[in-house]
């Protein structure tokens, strides 16, 4: 009996050694999903990474007498004043800027160079810089105070300059030493960096309407002709001048391209609230991307956030820059009807750093939304994350190509107002009027009132009616909120 037990114990140890060797083999040669994703954080990609939030230490003012009483209660010993061995040059009226401790509890900290330390609350201060920064940002890895480095348009760059920081030392070890000799440390992002935004993108109004919209007082034409203009210009992707020519050649309707543009601008003003406030019932997976357009000959950007399951466009923005601000606004539009994120929520984007930085700012919003960005990096499936989520990313790439096909005939926009109203009309068409092959040539979102219209001009008029109805509801809610407040 004992020999059988001994044999089983030895066999069990043998199996444990085999399992240990297999685990080492898997860890070394078969990358798991998260490890494969972390492999992209090599020093070459480090500049595109967003570091986690810093430690925030708020040094609230306290009373030194309460602190002394607390120390006595905790330690059972009175906190005695400083026993000085020589004369000091501390002024008699010097008080700790935090706890108001008098001179007997203050001593020189750096050999007479102007810095003092309070024995009661351990606060460092100068006589000419009396505690004017109660809120301190510190590195989450070494707790070293962050240094204000650069001022950008919408944010301030803070940097941890501690050469003994564990984050800095880890990144320094991963860098090829030959590159350090050839190019120096400036080629890589080695230190911890935090961007403090000076603009609150969560207080910006998402429902602002484009200016210069004309009224519906038709002097020469009627709403049906306006709907024909929308059908030719938006559905069939004809330019403003070709729309004018088509109406003349097909229906003998003489209308200028300026009048067509005025109709489209007014229609965009009315249908945009309905499209933006429509409840798309999004799934637990969203995907975002940006593409460029030309606005008055200068490069601009269009941001799209779409639902990966229904393919509906949930958020969109036109911007003159590729910063994090437009990305946050597009995400706010996508999250408009979500009181809380689903349990398995996933946001998929490319390797651009604006998306993780925007997700980090949502953690500081009210209410906070905590989610991570799954980044599909590059054009080839070099890691397991890209191989798994690239089909989802390809959906929004297909959306970009569909948008560019309609945008290409315009040869760019004259101004950003024109780009905004044109994009609003195209998103309306894409979400509610365009037949999709993935939906068996049905629209992405079904509205009963639109099904009652027999043709496309009638559907545009129904959308304008729904937009007017949404605007009236928004005005009513705003009036009720004003009365209650």
CB atoms within 10 A of CB 464: 21
Helices (H) and strands (E) in the chain, counts: 14, 13
Nearest to 31 by CA among 382, 409, 398, 453: 382
Helices 257-277 and 240-251 cross at an angle (nearest 10°) of 110
48-52, 313-317, 384-388 — most confident range: 313-317
In the sheet that 155-159 helps form, which strands lie side by side, from edge to edge?
Answer: 147-151, 155-159, 193-197
* The predicted structure's pLDDT at residue 433: 95
Q: 């009224």: which residue's tokens?
A: 215
Which pLDDT band holds residue 96 (cuts at 50, 70, 90)?
A: confident
For residues 257 and 229, give the distance between their C-alpha atoms in angstroms, rounded to a whole number.
Answer: 10
Torsion sign across C-alpha atoms 276, 237, 267, 411 = positive
Q: How far apart are CA 323 and CA 361, in angstroms?
A: 13
Nearest in space to 455 (alpha carbons), one of 266, 275, 228, 223: 228
The token duo for 274 is 């309905």
Closest by Cα among 299, 271, 287, 321 to 423: 271
* Least reliable range by pLDDT among 105-119, 188-202, 412-426: 105-119
Nearest to 237 by CA among 443, 422, 455: 422
Q: Considering the chain, what percentage of its residues have pLDDT values greater than 90?
A: 38
Q: Which residues contact 395 (CB under 8 A, 6 or more apart)?
A: 287, 306, 308, 311
| pLDDT digits 0-9 by tens, 223-237 | 889 999 999 999 999
Please state, in angstroms and rounded to a whole number, the distance separating the CA atoms of residues 456 and 454. Answer: 7
Question: What is 273-480's CATH number?
Answer: 3.30.420.10
pLDDT value, residue 311: 94
Question: Mean pLDDT, to the nearest integer, of 77-83?
Answer: 88
Q: How many CB atoms lie within 10 A of CB 164?
A: 8
What H or E segment, with its residue span, contains residue 243?
Answer: helix 240-251
Q: Tens digit of pLDDT for each residue in 171-210? A: 888 887 776 766 666 777 889 999 888 887 777 777 765 5
Task: Provide the pLDDT for residue 36.
Answer: 43
| Number of other CB atoms surrounding residue 100 within 10 Å | 15
CA 323, 324, 329, 333 torsion: positive or negative?
A: positive
What's the whole-number average pLDDT of the chain? 85
CB 311 within 8 A of CB 280: no
Pairing of strands 346-349, 373-375: parallel
Residue 449, both tokens: 């009132």
Pairing mode of beta strands 373-375, 313-319: unpaired
Left, alpha or beta for 409 (phi > 0: left; psi -120 to 50: alpha)? alpha
Alpha-carbon span 471 to 277, nearest angstrom: 10
Average pLDDT in the 53-73 region?
83
Tokens of 341: 């994120």
User: Could you tell me how many residues make up the chain?
Assistant: 485
Q: Name the residue ranges covered by the structural domains of the chain.
A: 57-82+89-132, 273-480
In the prediction, which pLDDT does 37 show?
Answer: 44
Element (H, E) at 196: strand 193-197
Residue 38: the pLDDT is 47
DSSP state of 175: S
E strand or H helix at 303? strand 298-307
- Residue 193 is predicted with a pLDDT of 92
pLDDT in tens, 350-359: 988 899 999 9
12-42 in b/e burial notation, b at 16+ Cβ within 10 A?
eeeeeeeeeeeeeeeeeeeeeeeebbeebee
∠ at Cα 289 (288, 293), nearest 5°?
145
Q: Which range has highest mean pLDDT (13-22, 26-35, 123-132)?
A: 13-22
């Amino acid at each position: 009996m004992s020999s059988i037990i001994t044999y089983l114990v030895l066999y069990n140890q043998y199996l444990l050694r085999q399992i240990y060797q297999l685990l080492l083999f898997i860890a070394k040669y078969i990358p798991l999903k998260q490890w494969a994703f972390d492999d992209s954080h090599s020093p070459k990609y480090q500049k595109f990474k967003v570091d986690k939030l810093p430690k925030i230490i708020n040094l609230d003012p306290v009373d030194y007498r309460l602190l002394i009483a607390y120390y006595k209660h905790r330690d059972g010993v009175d906190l005695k004043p400083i026993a000085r061995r020589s004369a000091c040059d501390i002024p008699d009226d010097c008080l700790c800027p935090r706890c108001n401790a008098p001179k007997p509890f203050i001593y020189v900290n750096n050999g007479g160079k102007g810095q003092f330390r309070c024995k009661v609350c351990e606060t460092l201060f100068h006589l000419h810089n009396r505690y004017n920064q109660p809120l301190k940002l510190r590195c989450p890895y070494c707790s070293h105070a962050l240094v204000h480095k650069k001022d950008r348009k919408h944010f301030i760059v803070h940097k941890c300059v501690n050469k003994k920081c564990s984050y800095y030392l880890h990144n320094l070890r991963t860098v090829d030493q030959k590159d350090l000799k050839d190019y120096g440390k400036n080629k890589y992002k080695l230190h911890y960096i935090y961007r403090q935004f000076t603009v609150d993108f969560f207080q910006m109004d998402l429902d602002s309407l484009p200016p210069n919209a004309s009224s519906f007082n038709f002097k020469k034409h009627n709403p049906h002709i306006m709907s024909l203009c929308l059908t030719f210009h938006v559905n069939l992707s004809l330019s403003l001048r070709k729309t004018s020519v088509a109406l003349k050649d097909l229906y003998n309707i003489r209308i200028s391209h300026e009048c067509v543009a005025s109709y489209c601008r007014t229609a965009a003003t009315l249908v945009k609230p309905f499209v933006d406030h429509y409840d798309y019932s999004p799934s637990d997976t969203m995907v975002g991307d940006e593409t460029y357009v030309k606005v008055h000959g200068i490069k601009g950007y269009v941001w799209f956030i779409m639902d990966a399951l229904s393919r509906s466009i949930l958020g969109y923005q036109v911007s003159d820059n590729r910063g994090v601000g437009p990305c946050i606004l597009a995400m706010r539009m996508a999250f408009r009807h979500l009181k809380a994120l689903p349990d398995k929520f996933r946001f998929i984007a490319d390797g651009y750093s604006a998306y993780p930085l925007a997700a980090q700012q949502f953690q500081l919003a009210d209410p906070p939304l905590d989610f991570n960005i799954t980044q599909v990096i590059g054009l080839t499936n070099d890691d397991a994350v890209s191989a798994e989520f690239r089909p989802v990313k390809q959906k929004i790439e297909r959306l970009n190509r569909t948008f560019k096909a309609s945008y290409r005939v315009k040869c760019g926009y004259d101004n950003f107002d024109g780009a905004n109203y044109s994009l609003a009309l195209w998103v309306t068409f894409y979400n509610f009027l365009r037949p999709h092959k993935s939906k068996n040539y049905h629209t992405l979102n079904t509205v009963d009132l639109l099904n009652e219209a027999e043709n496309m001009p009638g559907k545009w008029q129904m959308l304008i009616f729904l937009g007017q109805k949404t605007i009236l509801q928004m005005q009513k809610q705003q009036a009720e909120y004003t009365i209650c407040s």
